[in-house]
Amino acid sequence: KNQVEQSPQSLIILEGKNCTLQCNYTVSPFSNLRWYKQDTGRGPVSLTIMTFSENTKSNRRYTATLDADTKQSSLHITASQLSDSASYICVVTDRGSTLGRLYFGRGTQLTVWP
């Protein structure tokens, strides 16, 4: 069964601190993995996308890693800001889907305190 598991479920950090969110998946055959940021009451917005051959990708203060062998990914946020408070969702696409079917994790709810 294709699944995406994220940890922790929720996280509280102080402004300026770093944090790392985890994602494990069983989706096969694997096509790509994305991290989305979803603000409360909004739709998800893509932060990074990585294919099978990519190990790391950065987007401003966000750095995602991918280990396709162990089927694990992480999202590292550097020097957190209050605006980083949101749900971060790991999303995996299977290569066999002509629909572009996405498999979603439940997200990690990040709260940044001043």
Partner 1 sequence: EADIYQTPRYLVIGTGKKITLECSQTMGHDKMYWYQQDPGMELHLIHYSYGVNSTEKGDLSSESTVSRIRTEHFPLTLESARPSHTSQYLCASSELVGGGYEQYFGPGTRLTVT
Which residue carries 């990708």 as its tokens?
57
- Residue 41: strand, helix, or coil: coil
Cβ atoms of 37 and 86 closer than 8 Å: yes
* Shortest Å, Cβ 75 to partner 1: 16
Nearest to 43 by CA among 80, 7, 89: 89
* Shortest Å, Cβ 89 to partner 1: 8
The answer to whether 17 contacts partner 1 (rule: CB under 8 A) is: no
DSSP state for residue 99 in the 8-state scheme = S
How far apart CA 114 and CA 107 sit, in angstroms, is 22
Count CA atoms within 13 Å of residue 20 on its CB side. 6
Which x/- pattern over 18-57 shows residues binding partner 1 (rule: CB under 8 A)? Answer: -------------xx--------xxxxxx--x-x------
With contacts defined by CB under 8 A, name the span among 11-19, 57-65, 74-82, 102-110 that binds partner 1. Answer: 102-110
With contacts defined by CB under 8 A, name the span among 17-25, 57-65, 77-85, 98-106 that binds partner 1. Answer: 98-106
- For partner 1, the binding residues (CB under 8 A) are 4, 9, 31-32, 41-46, 49, 51, 89, 93, 99-102, 104-107, 109
